[in-house]
Amino acid sequence: MSLAGLFDVDSAATGQQVRAEPIQRRSAERLSTLLDAAAEAVDAVGFDRITTAMIAERAGASIGTVYRYYPDRVAVLQALHERTVLRFRQRVVEEFEASPPASWWDVVDCAVTAFVGLYRSEPGFRIMQFADRERANAAEGVNVESGFFATRLAIVLADRFGLPDEPQLIFRVEIAVEMANSLLCRAFLNDPLGDDRFIDECRRVVHDYLASFYGAAVAVPVAPPIAV
Amino acid sequence: MSLAGLFDVDSAATGQQVRAEPIQRRSAERLSTLLDAAAEAVDAVGFDRITTAMIAERAGASIGTVYRYYPDRVAVLQALHERTVLRFRQRVVEEFEASPPASWWDVVDCAVTAFVGLYRSEPGFRIMQFADRERANAAEGVNVESGFFATRLAIVLADRFGLPDEPQLIFRVEIAVEMANSLLCRAFLNDPLGDDRFIDECRRVVHDYLASFYGAAVAVPVAPPIAV
DNA sequence: TCGTCACTGAACGGAACTCGATCATATCCA
DNA sequence: TGGATATGATCGAGTTCCGTTCAGTGACGA
């Protein structure tokens, strides 16, 4: 089973946030243009100050078009959040392909590198943290995003690197994901390039936490790492 | 120097959020009533869906009264956040007095216990996490809240338990605070009583992180702990 | 009794959101 | 192939809701 397959970027169980599924090609483009506009707006004025008019204008569309696709203002931001999470997962896979992980801590490094890279290059990536918390209000029953990502990550770690496939593994990976997420967001809070002290400490903390259970000995290199 | 003194609950350098300082007694009551109402509203409908009318109504006041004390809607939430942070610090001090910490990890335990206790009993305590992130937009220059708390905590740890008073200490305590905050918020995300697995793991993680630098050996018990 | 503090709620402005009219594209049939 | 028709997609003026103001009224202290 390939790493890319495990992360299975297509099977994103998307929420019901889209009002009308796009039929014609142009509407698919519209959808992504709207999200691009929202992402720009996030960087320009921050979450709260975004207006639907602002999104429409930046996307070269009218207000009505926004509401054709999304039921309300918040739904646009949720959709942006989902797309951002998706792109993060894609980037993690790309990192895997660029420098195949030889051990479980390389996986952690890839994920951190992907996160940092996107924070620096992807417009509106700041939205990664806000919705994690915000979601709880909206959809009570829905599982937490970080839990979903953590579960998939745990599968990779178990399948490819021999970490024991217990329920505990998922829990621990979720702890690691939560910690990493908060420390990385902190790293970018006042520094647009990310404060390296926090980024480095994030790598160390997550590594040490998982190593306290799974040590370095469990690592099962599958392929030699490629120097990049 | 006493623990309470270090946490020095009075010297909260309050932001400029209040429009008119209360002169008569009744207006001081109004202020706290308004914040109580806002806190209830946070629990009832969540941050975004709070309206000024809702706050006024719950407080038994008119719209105009809200705006007499706060310049805008966001300011009310910021004030609630500050009061919540203050109460958290007070509760930490109470925990100290209830069971005087004998070592630095008792301090960590007290802080976690205080956080969990307030999350369970204090209306609107959920606001603790949101503003941490949100603040960054509003006041660019202002230091992060967690940084402020971490700094004071670091002073206690250095002063009372002999942890080395280096700049590194503050940084590490801030890392610890960020991790604890995220894990505890996660604990309450789907469980109003707090998921004990996350709470317990939070204690363990923070302890292990700090112990990796300062070990158990550095602990300097000042007074025997009181059984409660 | 007077002056100041506190409170009220109708009115204003702006942003979220709706909906019927209009344009663009796909499908069908001669 | 071209034109008719249906349906997807877009538009934007209009409606509603909400944040905010302010002039008028009530309450308290001197």
pLDDT digits (tens, 9 = 90+) for B94-144: 999 998 999 999 999 999 999 999 999 999 999 987 656 555 444 444 556
User: Considering only CA atoms, which of A120, A128, A124, A116 is closest in space to residue A44?
Assistant: A124
Q: Report whether CATH 1.10.357.10 matches the domain A80-216.
A: yes
- Looking at residue A25, its pLDDT comes to 77
- Looking at residue A2, its pLDDT comes to 55
**Between A8 and B62, whose confidence is greater?**
B62
Q: Does the pLDDT of residue A5 top 60, yes or no?
A: no
Q: Does the pLDDT of residue A137 top 50, yes or no?
A: no
Mean pLDDT of B7-36: 71
Delimit the domains of chain A by residue range: 20-70, 80-216
Rounded CA-CA distance B218/B116 in Å is: 27
Query: How open is the CA angle A43-A49-A52, to the nearest 5 degrees?
Result: 95
CB proximity list for A192: less than 8 A, separation 6 or greater: A120
- Looking at residue A129, its pLDDT comes to 79
Tell me the percentage of chain A whose pLDDT exceeds 90.
68
Q: Which has the minimum average pLDDT: A14-18, A159-163, B31-35?
A: A14-18
Contact A175 B181 (CB under 8 A): no
- Looking at residue A226, its pLDDT comes to 34
Residue B92 is encoded by which pair of tokens?
């930490």
Task: Work out if A53's Cβ lies within 7 angstroms of strand C.
Answer: yes
- Looking at residue B139, its pLDDT comes to 47
Quote the radius of gyration of chain A (alpha carbons, Å). Answer: 19
- Looking at residue A12, its pLDDT comes to 47
The number of helices, as runs of H, and strands, as runs of E, in chain A is: 10, 0
pLDDT digits (tens, 9 = 90+) for A32-90: 999 999 999 999 999 889 999 999 999 999 999 999 999 999 999 999 999 999 999 99
**Between B139 and B152, whose confidence is greater?**
B152
- Looking at residue B144, its pLDDT comes to 63
Tell me the percentage of chain A whose pLDDT exceeds 70.
79
For B81-219, CATH gives 1.10.357.10
User: Minimal Cα distance from B208: which residue of A?
Assistant: A209
From the candidate CATH numbers 1.10.10.60, 1.10.760.10, 1.20.120.720, 3.20.20.140, the one assigned to the domain spanning A20-70:
1.10.10.60
Q: Does the pLDDT of residue A133 top 70, yes or no?
A: no
Query: How open is the CA angle A124-A117-A180, to the nearest 5 degrees?
Result: 90
For B16-71, CATH gives 1.10.10.60
Q: Does the pLDDT of residue A141 top 60, yes or no?
A: no
Give the residue numbers in B contacting A (CB under 8 Å), as ranges: 46-48, 74, 129-130, 133-134, 136-137, 140, 144, 146, 171, 174-175, 178-179, 181-183, 185-186, 189-190, 197-198, 201, 205, 208-209, 212
| Banded model confidence at residue A225, pLDDT cuts 50, 70, 90 | very low
Provide the mean pLDDT of chain A.
85
Mean pLDDT of B24-32: 80
pLDDT digits (tens, 9 = 90+) for B180-219: 999 999 999 989 999 999 999 999 999 999 999 998 655 4
Could you give the 3-state DSSP secondary structure of residue A53?
Answer: helix
